Chains A and B, each alone.
Chain A
Amino acid sequence: MFGERISEEVFMRELLKCSFCGFCEWVCPTLKAEESRLYGPRGRVNIIIFAIKDGVWTDLGLRSIFNCLVCGACNTQCPAGIKISEYIRSFRYYLISREFRPCFIAK
């Protein structure tokens, strides 16, 4: 599935499993460096949700998505079993293929 174009529905189906618990954050190297939730896995998962579900997208979101190292450490921590780094990688592909304009899907 990863590495090919993922639809907005698939992003939502998987990422809405996030309960905002933050268990994924302590292992994230970029969060340690930036000291802001925006640059951790929980932030990135929710940025994708905000973009697709709520139609909110800004340059800081773009920075957050593209400064992830895709190291995958967060994947081992998520209680909901979300392969976080893989969805971040896929969202980059999605953004590039859509000229950095995510598609807002109405609820």
Chain B
Amino acid sequence: MNKNDVVRDLRKIVGSGNIEDDELILKLYTRSASNIDGSAIAVVFPRSSEEVSNIVRYCYKNDIKIYPQGSASELVGSSTPYSDGIVLSFEKMNKVKEVSILDSYVITEPGIRLFELNQLLAKYGYMFPVDPASVKSASVGGAINNDSGGMMGARYGTVKNWVLELELVIPDEHGTILRVGSKTMKYRGGYDLVRLIVGSEGTLAITTSATLRITPIPENIVTIGGFFQDMRDLMETVIDVKTKGIELFVMEFIDDKTVESACRTMNLKIKGEGHYLLTSIAVAREASERVLSTLESLYRSHNVVQLYKARSQEEAEKMGLLDIRRALYPLAMKIAHESRRDPRSKMFVEMEDISVPPSKLIEAVNRLRSLEASFGIPMVIGGHVGDGNIHPIVWVEETDRDKLKTFYEMIKEIRRIGTELGGTFSSEHGVGIKKKERLVEEFEFKKSLKSLEVMKEVKKIFDPKGILNPGKMF
């Protein structure tokens, strides 16, 4: 179909202020944090489920591809339009429809940012406990599509644990609106379609409304941060804390290179040398000292060099105990840009996303360090060590053709470590375009390629014409 006709027809559905085909806008909405640029014929801004349904019905009839998009802060290309179609931006569907403290849920449209949702919930003493590093940018819809996790993942897991009910539009001839799940904690009505959609990267259905579980903000949180000269000591501390049966709130680490850069370039309130381990525990206020003391003795038994303690979240923030960990990605960006040779070239900074069972953490870190040495490409390491999720970050200059090949070879090896140690290459960032090959390899490794066939059949049931976010995952 002619592009102008499509724009004209869709304008009739959403109104003239809610569709754009300007060249600059198209470039802006076909880019994401994944570093992959795509293309599209128009960007459409629906304002209701009914509009989404009408758009989908039109696209189905005319074989037009649809790419749903939240804040495009994802890292694997799952929101990038793979080939010409329309981008469906949910920026204008950003309203919170209902908050129920008694029933412990919030009903919201997909376009609201997680941070803004939590600002609202904090007024009630509640939170939606999913906090990816991109929390200030990531939208609810994007977090659902990606099954996002974050720093509190050690305690609360990922989005899939926190979605009760979804309103969806599926890409069939009617643009059918489905409502799956319920507002209750317990629900056993047939197959669990809610959890099928969560993490499906927008390939099965379009989320237009979500009922999310919420939880009270803990009464108190104690935090301890310490620096270790030896990564083995740090990892043994992690394993020791976990085997003591202490319920983690946050457990994060960053390596010595990132610590050095942070201490050199940031205005930090704490200083140290070596690898940094941060542990937070949610406690009743009366138990604060006892829990801190237990943590301190565990840290000290593994040769911690410098140690900082906070008796509340406010104190931890005032001391800057979390800032140094939050800076992992920005610091990697900074270190990468400091090494840039051509000012007009972009740096490809890849944050990988492997998970291993915590008992394999030491082996995983050792293997990552060996890769850094053998490939000769710099790497920083950090992540959500409490749940075994490590984010190795590597970088290369886009114009450095010689190194690019080595760079991609190294990334393949990094991903392999997750799979081979009983974990995965994809913990919370998804598959998108970038990791499709590894998805096949992981199932091959598990001798379970049939699983992929099942997934492809599921895709056909939801999306018989293959018009919804095609080219992703498979």
Contacts and interface: CB of A to CB of B under 8 A. Distances in A.
A12 B342 CA distance: 10
Given A26-B116, A54-B27, A56-B23, A36 B45 contact: yes
A107 B398 CA distance: 12
A81 to B, nearest CB: 7
A105 B22 CA distance: 21
Interface residues on A, range: 20 to 34
Interface in B366-383: none
A16 B89 CA distance: 24
A58 B94 contact: no
B256 interface: no
A104 to B, nearest CB: 12
B137 A9 contact: no
Nearest to A58: B24
Give the one of B24, B136, B333, B347 with max A CB within 10 A.
Answer: B24
Given A21-B137, A22-B71, A38-B28, A16 B344 contact: yes
27 contacts: A13-B343, A16-B344, A16-B347, A19-B333, A20-B31, A20-B72, A21-B73, A22-B72, A22-B73, A25-B71, A25-B136, A26-B136, A35-B92, A37-B72, A37-B89, A46-B31, A47-B24, A47-B28, A50-B27, A56-B23, A58-B23, A60-B22, A61-B24, A79-B327, A80-B333, A80-B337, A105-B344
Given A38-B28, A47-B28, A80-B330, A19 B349 contact: yes
Contact of A22 (B137, B334, B344, B349): B137
Nearest to A31: B91
A101 interface: no
Nearest to B27: A50
> What's the dominant secondary structure at chain A's contact region?
loop
Given A26-B115, A26-B116, A38 B343 contact: no
Contacts of B330: 79-81
Interface in A3-56: 9, 12-13, 16-17, 19-23, 25-26, 35-38, 43, 46-47, 50, 53-54, 56
Nearest to B73: A22
Given A25-B136, A26-B136, 17 more contacts: A16-B344, A16-B345, A17-B337, A22-B71, A22-B136, A35-B92, A35-B94, A47-B28, A56-B23, A56-B24, A56-B27, A60-B25, A61-B24, A80-B330, A81-B330, A81-B334, A105-B344
B460 interface: no
A28 to B, nearest CB: 11
A50 to B, nearest CB: 5
Contacts, number: 96
Contacts of B136: 22-23, 25-26, 77
Nearest to A51: B24
A57 interface: yes
A54 B29 CA distance: 15
Give the one of A12, A13, A37, A107 with max B CB within 10 A.
Answer: A37
A23 B22 CA distance: 25
Interface of B: 20, 22-25, 27-29, 31-33, 35, 45, 71-73, 89, 91-92, 94, 113, 115-116, 134, 136-137, 327, 329-330, 333-334, 337, 343-347, 349
Contact of B33 (A19, A26, A53, A81): A19
Nearest to A52: B344
A19 B27 CA distance: 15
A60 B29 CA distance: 14
A107 B136 CA distance: 33
A79 B333 contact: yes
A23 B134 contact: yes
A58 B25 CA distance: 9
Contacts of B71: 22, 25
Contacts of A21: 33, 73, 134, 137, 329
A35 B347 CA distance: 29
A64 to B, nearest CB: 8
Given A16-B345, A19-B349, A37-B91, A50 B24 contact: yes
B344 A12 contact: yes
A37 B92 CA distance: 11
B45 A35 contact: yes
Give the one of B29, B115, B333, B344 with max A CB within 10 A.
Answer: B344
Contacts of A16: 343-347
Contact of A20 (B20, B32, B344): B32
A47 B347 CA distance: 19
A58 to B, nearest CB: 5
A58 B22 contact: yes
A107 to B, nearest CB: 7
A13 B397 CA distance: 13
Nearest to A47: B24
Contacts of B72: 20, 22, 37
Nearest to B346: A16
A83 to B, nearest CB: 15
A16 B346 CA distance: 6
A95 to B, nearest CB: 14
Interface in A47-93: 47, 50, 53-54, 56-58, 60-61, 77, 79-81
B24 A60 contact: yes
